[in-house]
Each structure stands twice: as C-alpha cells, then as structure tokens.
Structure 1
C-alpha cells in the first residue's frame, strides 16, 4: 500500500465499538448513522430521526473538510419500508436533484437502539 492508500480511522463519537468512519486513500467510508442527538438519545419520531441522521452525516463530512457533494453512494436501512417516501422527503433536502448519489435500500426488522433508520455513505475526499 503506497502513501496515497494509507488507512485513517475516525474515532467514535459515542462509546461505540466501531469507528465513525475510515478513510482509505481518497474515499471516506462512513459507518451507518442513526438519528442520535448529541446527548446520546434518539430524536423523537420518524421525520426527526431522518433529519438528525442526515445532520450526523453532514457533521462527519465536515469533520473531514468535506460535504454532501462528495457523497457518491448511500445505503439506507429502514425499520418500515412503507415509510420510504417519508424518508425520501427529508433525504432529498440534502442533495440537489442533478447530483443524487447512487443508493441502495432495504427494510429490516430491527436497528441499533430502536432507531427507525440507518444510513451509511461513501464519499470521495481527495487529500489536498
């Protein structure tokens, strides 16, 4: 692995057994984010959790000197796929229609801490 392929780990924001993200070369792999507030509790309700989830992604990217425009792939996990359109309403506020990341989504019967959704992203963040 050459110097452009060094691996850098972002420490966890809370007492969790995983890194917030890992940077390999010019790609930042963000761990799944949920609607956790700074005090460690979940935002109240589906829409509030969706918004907080996206804000947590933005905060992680900013910590790396980047932004949502660098995201090229997202994976969305929902505890109830019937709320897909409800999630999309919030999600689309964060990306221009002409610059939507590739995305996969699936329903699950449970997420960490009882969250309604979890979103993980990959972003192109070249070193300056």
Structure 2
C-alpha cells in the first residue's frame, strides 16, 4: 500500500489550525472540515447567514477537490457541524443538497455544536473516493 499523501494547497482556504487540506491513501481522500472563509480574502468577514456560509463551505470543498483532479461527484460521505442546529437545519439542507444530484447524495451526519472556529455557523468535512482510472 502506498504511503499517505498530505496535501496543502496555496490556492486553498487559509488553514485556521495546523492541518492539511486533504490526506489521500489508497484512493480515499479525506478532506479537512472547511470554514466559510474566502480563499481570496481570508481576513474578510464571513458571509451573513447559514445559506451563504453553507455555499461558501461547499465551494471551498469543491476547490480542494479540484486541486486533486476531483469534484463533488466523488464525495461519498460528509459530516456537517451547525452551531444553531434547530434554527439553521432546514436552510442548511436546502443549500447543501443543491450541490449534488438528487440520486447521488453522499452519506451524511449532521451534528449540533456549541461553537466553531472563526465564529462560523457551519463546517463540513468529507470523504471522497478517487476512481481507479484517475
């Protein structure tokens, strides 16, 4: 089995802690939880509201996947963390599901938490599987 590859991309969102954007081993790609920060303006205020923050997080995940030659269609599992679960869950779901075909939704767990880094309302991590022909 080949050694794990640790990926940190200059074009990716600035890490808010000591981590790699993704780690890959044996065709599996584990993406670190992404925050709703703007990769082009990491010190800019976060987007307002759960819909805008969810979209930014999904776009950041797609950006990291793109750096690996993958896209959201390769995602098989996600974990989402919400700081205001009861208030934000329905709108979060509407935004999240718009990123996937209705017949190819990844497995998912959504967890209510008390706080997230940078004051975010949402964070999402995921696992992707590299096709054998890539």
Which of these residues, 113, 122, 125, is aligned with residue 120 of structure 1?
Answer: 125
Q: Matched residue of 1:47: which SS?
A: helix
1:26 CA displacement: 0.2
Which of these residues, 67, 70, 80, is aligned with residue 76 of structure 1?
Answer: 80
Q: Is the 8 A contact 1:76 1:119 kept in 2?
A: yes
TM-score (norm 2): 0.87
1:46 CA displacement: 2.0
Which of these residues, 4, 7, 10, is aligned with residue 4 of structure 2?
Answer: 7
TM-score (norm 1): 0.91
Q: Is the 8 A contact 1:29 1:123 kept in 2?
A: yes
Residues 39-77 of structure 1: per-residue CA shift (max 9 Å, x gap): 113223221111100000110111100111100000000
Q: Matched residue of 1:119: which SS?
A: strand
Q: Matched residue of 2:89: which SS?
A: helix
For 1:84 and 1:75, the matched residues in 2 are separated by 13
Greater helix content? 1
For 1:93 and 1:126, the matched residues in 2 are separated by 23
1:24 CA displacement: 1.1
For 2:51 and 2:105, the matched residues in 1 are separated by 20
Note if 1:23 corresponds to 2:24: yes
Give the aligned CA root-mean-square deviation in angstroms. Answer: 1.4
In the alignment of these two chains, the number of paired residues is 125
Note if 1:89 corresponds to 2:86: no
